[in-house]
Chain A
Amino acid sequence: MKAQLNNLFRGLGLCAALGLVALPVGAQSAGGPLRIEITEGVIEPLPFALPVFIADSPDMADAAQDITRVIAADLRGTGLFREIPAEAHISTITSFDSPVQFADWQAINAQALITGSVGRTSDGQMVVRFRLFDVFSQLPLGDGLQFVATPETWRRMAHRVADQVYSRITGESGYFDTRVAFINEEGPKNARLKRLALMDYDGANVQYLTDSSAIVLAPRFSPDGRSLLYTSYESGTPRIYQMDIASVTHRPLADLPGTMTFAPRYSPDGRRVVFSVERGGNSDIYMLDLISGGQTRLTEAPSIETAPSFSPDGNQVVFESDRSGNQQLYIMPATGGQAQRISRGSGRYGTPVWSPRGDYIAFTKQEAGRFHIGVMRVDGSEERLLTASFLDEGPTWAPNGRVVMFTRETAGTNGAPALYSVDISGRNLQRVATPGMASDPAWSPLLQ
């Protein structure tokens, strides 16, 4: 199924430009009014108009509706954009190629206008075309694009359109054509059944990768998005497994030492895995070279060393250790050696994850009976807490390094975990759609 998906999407490429655009102004207009700086405080979301995409034939009408709806949801969900409802539209788009009546869109204060069409090729492929306009400068923002793929991948095509819009307006890469691995949870709090699951980032297309016969925890994506590392009790004790997503087959990661192996994470080039090994009650960090099979012990301390995460260049590892008496964050060379403590505030810090952009480290902070998701610079400065609740933990980065997803668990006998996302500015806290209770999200890279 998954292998098929990849094949089907080969033809999608990054978008055959149609050459339909009269003025391929592209990046030049990026400095104009239609621009969101994500790092700045966004006071007012950018209003956009997204008329339902034109169906090239009557049988594509439903698909056109659905695709338009997904694009709008992607953009609204960022908190950076506000959709102007269709009822307010003055102009009607009747043809993808007819000239845009900019005055009509200016009149309703739309700053961005997205038009598109959905059609079908003679061999049954779906064709999605779109254009983005800067309404006030009356110019297209970038080239019109066309995506061709099988009809069942319509959601991915919609996400790709939204990624293009997001990227052209913010200057950042998008994160909509992505998936999230997570742990699906069922049952009472003292007898939870856990399954490894996968879904689109917006909760669609849920797929279960394990049954609930063994506890599974904390999946992590490979950099190519094709496999997951996770911890499972299937052999009786917690060990690390590798799941091939396309074939839904898994195997122990390697012949690893210790009673328990856990907290795995791939290197950015996918050639190494850093993880924790517990032996005799003591947990330390190890490195596995996936090419040679060689294993290196990176820490050797009587304290708990766990939750390692690579820097984007693969040269350093951030991890947590309670060597000072409680959980704090440290950075060491990826070859091991001297570690520098970076967390300085009060409270305890765990689950550090290096941003794919390299600029921040996201973490879980525990202080005075509350949990927070936060970010700090790599040197520990500019600590910013993004959330606060009874129990927030385990951030994972969107591939553009602007949003994190995490687990929030409610208190009490009916306490239940759910997935949430939040901007690194602390804005736009949202619950992520899941089929039921869910924990331990892992955000994929942008799909190929």
Chain B
Amino acid sequence: MMKLLVKSSLMVAMLGLAACSQAGLGGSGAGGMNGAGAMGGNFDPASPEYFNQTIGDRVFFAVDQSTLSAEAAATLDQQATWLLNNPSYTAIIEGHADEQGTREYNLALGARRAASAQEYLISRGVAPNRLSTISYGKERPIEICSNEACYSRNRRAVTVIAAGAGV
């Protein structure tokens, strides 16, 4: 995985978008920006930045749930389209939980969320060998307050784009 990330960061530099190169490259989504279209459409549509910022690299879940909301499905539809249009990339889908749960249960729950996003992308035509999953449980919150405003941002699946053909 580290290897893929290194490659990915090289790719970003190559595309001359180093200013935003931290986005999505944190390995856990924890260091990245919140995807949801924060910076509008200034990116090359074929770039990981477009994926991260314009489409949105993450979807959110209700407490204890791994089912996809309509909003999450819409984001994943666009992610699938991007992945289909940019076949030189693979993706690692990270599943995360909020801190309101026991450690091992949250690992399992994060895996469920990552798999839920993965299955959806596969159902939209993305080759399974381009997608892998990893659960971080509650180990890598992106928001660190202890209330629902933060928890709702931490219950997430983040699609981390990496360079390279499928495995």
Nearest CB in chain A: distance from B104 CB, A: 5
- Verify if A401 is at the interface (C-beta below 8 Å from B): no
Nearest CB in chain B: distance from A393 CB, A: 5
CB nearest neighbor in A for B141? A190
Bound CA span A231–B137, Å:
12
Contacts of A217 in B (CB 8 A): 103, 107, 139
The reply to whether B2 and A236 contact each other, CB–CB distance below 8 Å, is yes
The interface bits of chain A over 273-306 (1 if a CB of B lies within 8 angstroms of the residue's CB, else 0) are: 0001010111100000000000000000000101
Nearest CB in chain A: distance from B160 CB, A: 12
- Verify if A271 is at the interface (C-beta below 8 Å from B): no
Contacts of B114 in A (CB 8 A): 281
Q: Considering only CB atoms and an 8 Å cut-off, how many residues of chain A contact the other chain?
A: 44
For B108, give its contact among A192, A278, A415 (CB under 8 Å). A278
Nearest CB in chain A: distance from B126 CB, A: 15
Instruction: From known contacts A259-B133, A276-B108, A415-B146, infer whether A281 and B102 are also in contact, taking CB-CB under 8 Å.
Output: no
Bound CA span A381–B132, Å:
43
Which 7 pairs between the two chains have the least Cβ-Cβ distance? A281-B115, A236-B1, A411-B146, A283-B108, A189-B144, A350-B102, A304-B108
- Verify if A72 is at the interface (C-beta below 8 Å from B): no
Q: B residues 84-143 with Cβ under 8 Å of A? A: 99-105, 107-109, 111-116, 118-119, 132-136, 139-143
Nearest CB in chain B: distance from A196 CB, A: 14
Bound CA span A393–B144, Å:
19
Contacts of A320 in B (CB 8 A): 105
The reply to whether A215 and B2 contact each other, CB–CB distance below 8 Å, is no
Q: Considering only CB atoms and an 8 Å cut-off, how many residues of chain B contact the other chain?
A: 37
Instruction: From known contacts A259-B133, A260-B111, A409-B99, infer whether A218 and B144 are also in contact, taking CB-CB under 8 Å.
Output: no
The reply to whether A190 and B142 contact each other, CB–CB distance below 8 Å, is yes
Residues of A within 8 A of B (CB): 188-192, 215, 217-218, 231, 236-238, 259-260, 262-263, 276, 278, 280-283, 304, 306-307, 320, 322, 326-327, 350-351, 364, 366, 369, 390-391, 393-394, 409, 411-413, 415, 440
A/B interface sample: 27 pairs, CB < 8 A = A188-B144, A190-B140, A190-B144, A215-B136, A217-B103, A217-B107, A218-B104, A236-B2, A238-B134, A238-B135, A260-B107, A260-B111, A263-B104, A263-B107, A276-B108, A281-B66, A281-B111, A281-B114, A283-B111, A304-B109, A306-B105, A306-B108, A350-B102, A351-B102, A364-B102, A412-B145, A413-B146
